[in-house]
Amino acid sequence: MPGPSPFAAHRADLEALGAQSRRRTLAPRAGRDFASNDYLGLADSEALRTALAAGIERGLPAGSGGSRLLRGNHDEHEALEAHAARHYGSEAALYFSTGFAANAALFATLPQRGDVVVHDELIHASAHDGMKLGRADAIAAAHNDAQAFEDIISRWRAGGATGTPWIAVESLYSMDGDRAPLAELAAVADRHDAVLVVDEAHATGVFGPGGAGLAHGLARRDNLVTLHTCGKALGCEGALLCAPAIATDFVVNRGRPFIFSTAPSPLSAWLVRQAIEIVANEPERQARLHAVVRHAAERLVPLGIPASGTQILPVIIGDNERTMRIAACLRDAGFDIRGIRPPTVAQGTARLRIAITLNVDEGNIDDMAEALAQAMAAA
């Protein structure tokens, strides 16, 4: 007789998630876009289609054929990295196939044994996975509380630690839409000979001159590392680790996620470089997005939804099941707004994540606000 299924534990876990209204499923695109991170509407734009066609016309390969340290390195990778370093204000840059890979490589490789990573409690999951692979201790600090970072590092130093503290934050948080106090955190880093790591995933392209991000005012510091994802406002894929040259050189030599990964497509590298230029040369995209964000805030504040000041507007519901009922009502009404549940967010803070992009206009927002009010009342 056959024995027990080798996936019995997996089935039980999925059933438990379902009982808590936390089981995830893949859903097709449908309705007006209030869910994506395509903030500037570039992903399906004529501008990027034209750039892609130009790259193909140039004969750029679709695949790299190997890791960067074997035969996978291409002129387009290096051209993108040089351009990104200039644009984002760093000494050097390194291109990864995804933001997850870049974050994992960063935290698994750069902090050393005897160091400490003090990270915001809401930092990306990819940073957590990188820290688990790394050699340094990791301590969570209260969200957006610069004094909490200061106190943790001071206690760590008082205990006799002599290594380097790494302060790890996002400049704009993906589920709350709020911004980190970067100037205060940079001051903490300076006082404690620390390195400030800023994940600009949701700020790249949206904020800063030419879309350079919220940390652009701190550029050219020798204790700053920034990460710029290319699959959100830039409309492409991949991520750029921007840092002092000694740090990127160390990742090339010691970063296992970099060393043992097939290099990103040279065609993708070309496309990202064009996207950076499009955003820099067309500031009206940023201006238009900020205008649409302000309109959304004006429509949602009367519903009791606070303005975040950014393109990410969380609607905290609390209960998992009610959150998903409201999301389903909105989907049925023609609006793609997703429910976000634990563990992506803290227990008891299930929410709708409304993302404002240039894929919608003021009329779409007006209709969405009306549908949201009806769905919340009905659920």
pLDDT in tens, 306-353: 999 999 999 999 999 999 999 999 999 999 999 999 999 999 999 999
> Does 14 reside within a domain?
no
Quick one: 37 and 73 in the same domain? no
Average pLDDT of every residue of the chain: 96
Q: Which residue has the higher pLDDT, 291 or 20?
A: 291
Are residues 66 and 207 part of one domain?
Answer: yes
Write down which residue in 280, 295, 330 finishes a domain: 280
Q: If pLDDT is split at 50, 70 and 90, which confidence band does 219 have?
A: confident
**Closest by CA position to 162, among listed 151, 172, 153:** 153
pLDDT at residue number 28: 82
Q: Are residues 191 and 313 in the same domain?
A: no
Side-chain-side CA neighbours of residue 234 (13 Å): 32
Say whether both 219 and 350 belong to one domain.
Answer: no
pLDDT tens track for 81-125: 999 999 999 999 999 999 999 999 999 999 999 999 999 999 999
- Centre a 10 Å sphere on the Cβ of residue 298 and count the other Cβ atoms it contains: 13
Q: Are residue 157 and residue 296 in the same domain, yes or no?
A: no
DSSP per-residue string spanning 74-131: -HHHHHHHHHHHHHHT-SEEEEES-HHHHHHHHHHHSS-TT-EEEEETT--HHHHHHH
Confidence grade of residue 21 (pLDDT, cut at 50, 70, 90): confident
pLDDT tens-digit map of 165-214: 999 999 999 999 999 999 999 999 999 999 999 999 999 999 999 999 99
State in Å, rounded, how far the first CA of the chain is from the last one: 48
Q: Which residue has the tokens 């389903």?
A: 328
Residue 348: what pLDDT?
A: 94
Structural domain span for residue 316: 27-42+283-378
Same domain flag for 38 and 72:
no
Where a domain ends, among 280, 315, 334?
A: 280
- Tokens representing 220 are 């050219």
Torsion of CA 340, 343, 348, 352, to 10 degrees: -10
* Percent residues over pLDDT 70 in the chain: 99
Residues 354 and 288 in one domain: yes
| Tokens encoding 246 | 């000694």
CA distances to 6, 338, 365, 375 from 370, in Å: 48, 17, 9, 9
What was the pLDDT predicted at 57?
A: 97
Please check whether residues 104 and 225 belong to one and the same domain: yes
> Residue 84: which CATH number?
3.40.640.10
pLDDT number for residue 27: 81
The domain that holds 314 is classified in CATH as: 3.90.1150.10
Whether the Cβ atoms of residue 162 and residue 204 lie closer than 8 Å to each other: no
- Contact between residue 321 and residue 21 where contact means Cβ atoms under 8 Å apart: yes
In this prediction, residue 26 carries a pLDDT of 86
Q: Do 179 and 109 share a structural domain? A: yes
Structure tokens at 226: 């920034």
Residue 136 pLDDT exceeds 80: yes
Burial level of 3, CB count in 10 A (0-12/13-18/19+)?
A: exposed
Cβ neighbour number for residue 316 with a 10 Å cutoff: 15
Q: What is the pLDDT of residue 1?
A: 58
Higher pLDDT pick, 4 / 201: 201
Report how many domains make up the chain: 2
Identify which of 178, 157, 155, 152 has the alpha carbon closest to the alpha carbon of residue 167: 152
Q: CA 18, CA 379: separation in Å to the nearest integer?
A: 19
Where is the domain boundary, 280, 301, 332? 280
